[in-house]
Structure 1
Amino acid sequence: MRISFGKWSGVVLSSVLLAALVSACGSSNKEGTASPSGTVAPSAQASESAPSSEALPVVTLNIVYPGDPQPDQDAVTAALEKKLAEDGVNVKLKYQYIPWGDYFQKLPIMLATGDQVDIMWTDPNLLGTFVKSNSIAPLDEALAKNGQAIVAALDEKYWPPVTVNGKKYGVPAGALGTTKGYYTATLRKDLREKYGLPEVKTMDDLLAYAEAVKTNNPEMIVFNEPPAGFLRGEPVQSTASDGIVFNYATLKAEAKYDRPQTMEDARFSRMLYEKGYIDKDVMVGRDIRADFNSGKAAIGGGDVYEYNNYARNIAVDGAQVEFVSIPLTTEPYMPTTTWNFQSVAATSKNIDRAILFLNWIQQSEDNYDMMTNGIKGTHYDVKDGAIVVPEGADAAKIGYAPPEWMWQNPKFLKPKASDAPDFMQQLQDFDKNTKLFSPIMGFNFDQTPVKTELAAMSTIENKYKYGITAGVLDPETAVPEYGAELKKAGLDKVIAEFQKQADAFLAEK
């Protein structure tokens, strides 16, 4: 559910990540108290076999997640523990939530200082860092022993992002909607129809809509955030720096601001800005979701999940919204199949049991629903296949809405009654035509050899990137100046190091 819009995504995340939206190689056979045979009892395996007479000892799993604690977490945890005991898993769950703003700083310290951590959320950056520091455990043995339901739930395409040197270091979420190569946004369907315009399927259609909005509603912001992205060309993937992209066709890292497509993008953004389609005060931070939901903006940038948020929250009488997806590249592609993983600390004494617990979640729809939605009849009910608020309950006071995107299983994923009517279909269809996967999926760039150069380039990025993306800066001068300053800061050295590591990764594959 992540999408990058440079500076503006930071504005959204700061106000919504809030709503949300990232190995001492010990053996995976660690448990607080081993059973006499030294193996995990089969009662909680994916086969759902009959409980063993040899019960597993109770252990506590320390789970660390980003975000804020759920108000009803204790009640749901008690229900989960009861069901886990009935199913022979026998674990207690101890949750610790770290605010998003602190998570990426505090979690590494916890792991380095030996704090009690078993399961934790990781993303591509965290996972790569933790593998290099031996802070998280390889999970292949534990998955082979206790992860049959996990493996059955997740298509093989989800495993490359968590696989390093042939070993799996996380349990990936079964994400949907990760394809790139499109411009995606939410439009005001009622305005489009009012102006007699056809469905928006091309960039020309989008510009016709933008012009109609500006002509008829000059006070409106057209784009609530600049429509960044390559307008045409072969698939290229962003990397560790704004100055570098990885080209799928050539398998080479390239200087982004030397590419003709980059100048073309910048000129397009400048045109939108000069026509007034992008707000003159775009560089001033504001709540861009609120702009669209209050009727101040006519186009809300973002992916299918953002479309669903807009559909739920728009507060304009008679407003209707629709999702648009416009092809930008010769072929849609996936730079990654998932952004979210659950890893296990290398210092955990309960690696097998941690995987057994994560496997239990995927073992049945009832288990998954309890983990995801809470106590049935209290926090949720199911009606016509959708999650609904229980009769008599106050939707505003439902105290359990955890991050399903951490353990998402596409087979068990259900729409909410408040979702846009076509949200689930849009989400399930978004990746269906994608056949091109990133050749460097799962590659983690070790920045250590060029950290000085990357730091210098980052400072320059703040000077140019957002102004170019928003059309505020004249691309005829800003793009070549930016490219030249990046090279002075060491861009060529960073590209060479990235290519060296990428070539080694590709050779291993």
Structure 2
Amino acid sequence: MGATAGLLLLGCRGEPVDLRAQAAIAAGGSRGYAGPAVELAFWTGFTGGDRPPMERLIARFNREHANITVRMSVTRWGDFYQKIPAAVDSGHGPDVAVMHADQLATAAVRRTILPLDEVTEALGLGAGDFSETLWSAGVFRGRRYGVPLDVHPLGLYVNRAVLAGAGLDDAALPRSRRDYLAALDHLKRRGIQGSWVSPVLFTGGLMFQSLLWQAGGQLFSEDGARAMFHAEAGVEALSFMVELIRRGYSPRDVGQDADSIAFINDRNAFLWNGVWMINTFKAVPGLRWGVLPVPVIGAQRAVWGNAHHLVLPRQPGAGAGHRRLQAAVVFLAWLSEHSLDWAAAGMVPARREARESAAFRRMTEQAIFAEQLPAVRFPPAIAGADAVRASTLDLAVNDAVLLRATPREALSRAAREADALLAGNLKKFGRAL
């Protein structure tokens, strides 16, 4: 498919829609918006503790912009990604939306969102405003589709009460594989299972991905044609998790969120979980906790991360919504500039100036998560890869952690199934590169 044809399609009434033309119109919003009053639909999946901070930001934006009113619609993320393609195709999609970095490729090949190269150029945004890692995560097949709002990696939460009760102080906080195992062995001798291993994606699957990258592995080949998670690096990563269970450092059959509940109840010392747990733990009376970068278990520093990106969904018709497109860019740019305020949701702001500010450094826990940014690895920009991972790799991690199969057996079986699904994706979406 040629470059021009790849960005042309029919709108909900059959008119041709040129995504690049819409993006060029939107770029005009870099100069502000002085037209008649418009109302923008803003869709997100911020259903939890991240919702109030975003609502406060929107209220502030609305106060500061007399001719633009933003209304946020909130849907659970799983439903959000089901809903938005159909809504855009029917001409009833939002003007601005938030998507995770690992969803941009799929949304791009479905023509759900606009390419933003002209928009970011007009706004004067580049890697220097964020970081190379964050900035490049918004690119698919050489075009930009998202502007990063935040980054949310895993970290290692530590229960200080559990450690103190076992006679461990800050000198025992683990930074390496040896430190980690030594602390867990010490805890075990005092009857404490100190690192509960979850069999589900949140958080066992994310722990596995971190360990996979630490061991030098990858999830899929760069072109999206083959699974790679079953190679020796993957076996090594999953074997480490299983060994924590077999050594008695973790209970068997840990249920969904049971690792976090045990942490809150002073029964679990170390928890691999995301930055989104900061506000949850702060709200627990009497909980004594802290956070560290995840320990380096493998040969190199690496940690799973994802990022919320601001996107502009395709609008219906060739000439429809010009004013809203420009107003949408005003809102997008304003939110990006205020990413420090968004850090109140427990996120690491994407903008470099926000991360380097004194105000952010006073956000102790978020600042520790931010230290990991050079080591953050995002899921690959491969259309449909998220669904492939969920139906193959996540099940393999589950089987191995529940001791139903060896790591090698579980990963090999999942890789065969993933390869078949990836072959179907190649026919539907084309290669990632």
Scaled by the length of structure 1, the TM-score of the pair is 0.62
CA drift at 1:156: 4.9
The verdict on how the C-alpha distance between 1:267 and 1:80 changes in structure 2, with shifts beyond 3 A counting, is: closer
Equivalent residues of 2:396, 2:414 under 8 A apart: no
User: 2:89 pairs with 100, 112, 133, which one?
Assistant: 112
**Structure 1 equivalent of residue 216 of structure 2:** 235
Equivalent residues of 1:130, 1:136 under 8 A apart: yes
User: 2:269 pairs with 273, 279, 298, which one?
Assistant: 298
CA drift at 1:114: 0.5
CA distance in 2, matches of 1:485, 1:177: 25
1:346 is paired with a residue whose SS is coil
2:373 is paired with a residue whose SS is coil
Residues 36-435 of structure 1 mapped to structure 2, 5 A cutoff:
42=31, 44=32, 55-68=34-47, 77=58, 79-85=60-66, 90-145=67-122, 147-148=123-124, 153-175=129-151, 177=153, 184-192=155-163, 194-196=166-168, 198-218=172-192, 222-223=195-196, 225=198, 228=208, 230=211, 234-238=215-219, 245-246=220-221, 253=226, 255-257=228-230, 259-282=231-254, 284-303=255-274, 306=277, 308-309=278-279, 312-313=282-283, 315-316=285-286, 319-332=288-301, 339-347=307-315, 348-349=321-322, 350-362=324-336, 372=341, 408-412=350-354, 422-432=364-374, 434=375
CA distance in 2, matches of 1:461, 1:155: 29
CA drift at 1:358: 1.9
The verdict on how the C-alpha distance between 1:129 and 1:327 changes in structure 2, with shifts beyond 3 A counting, is: same
CA distance in 2, matches of 1:72, 1:486: 40
CA distance in 1, matches of 2:258, 2:304: 28
Equivalent residues of 1:170, 1:341 under 8 A apart: yes
Q: Which amino acid aligns with 2:81?
A: F
The verdict on how the C-alpha distance between 1:195 and 1:172 changes in structure 2, with shifts beyond 3 A counting, is: same
CA drift at 1:329: 3.9
The verdict on how the C-alpha distance between 1:246 and 1:322 changes in structure 2, with shifts beyond 3 A counting, is: same
1:159 is paired with a residue whose SS is helix
Equivalent residues of 1:30, 1:351 under 8 A apart: yes
Q: Which amino acid aligns with 1:166?
A: G
**Structure 1 equivalent of residue 7 of structure 2:** none
**Structure 2 equivalent of residue 479 of structure 1:** 408
Q: Which amino acid aligns with 1:479?
A: R
Equivalent residues of 2:152, 2:347 under 8 A apart: no
Q: Which amino acid aligns with 2:218?
A: Q
CA distance in 2, matches of 1:72, 1:497: 37
Q: Percent identity?
A: 13
Q: Which amino acid aligns with 1:342?
A: L
The verdict on how the C-alpha distance between 1:479 and 1:315 changes in structure 2, with shifts beyond 3 A counting, is: farther
1:472 is paired with a residue whose SS is coil
Equivalent residues of 1:224, 1:291 under 8 A apart: no
Equivalent residues of 1:40, 1:56 under 8 A apart: no
CA drift at 1:406: 10
2:73 is paired with a residue whose SS is strand
When the two chains are superposed, the root-mean-square deviation of aligned CA atoms in Å is: 4.5
**Whose radius of gyration is greater, 1 or 2?**
1
CA drift at 1:255: 4.3
CA distance in 2, matches of 1:137, 1:268: 42
CA drift at 1:424: 4.1
The verdict on how the C-alpha distance between 1:235 and 1:352 changes in structure 2, with shifts beyond 3 A counting, is: farther
Q: How many equivalent residue pairs?
A: 394
CA drift at 1:490: 7.1
Equivalent residues of 1:24, 1:136 under 8 A apart: no
The verdict on how the C-alpha distance between 1:279 and 1:404 changes in structure 2, with shifts beyond 3 A counting, is: closer
Moved more, 408-417 or 284-293: 408-417
2:397 is paired with a residue whose SS is helix
- Unaligned runs of 5+ residues in structure 1 are 1-22, 32-37, 46-54, 179-183, 239-244, 374-386, 388-400
Moved more, 108-117 or 220-229: 220-229
1:61 is paired with a residue whose SS is strand
Equivalent residues of 1:153, 1:362 under 8 A apart: no
Structure with more relative contact order (C-alpha pairs < 8 Å, separation 6 or more) = 2
**Structure 2 equivalent of residue 27 of structure 1:** 22
CA drift at 1:495: 7.3
The verdict on how the C-alpha distance between 1:415 and 1:290 changes in structure 2, with shifts beyond 3 A counting, is: farther
CA distance in 2, matches of 1:117, 1:231: 37
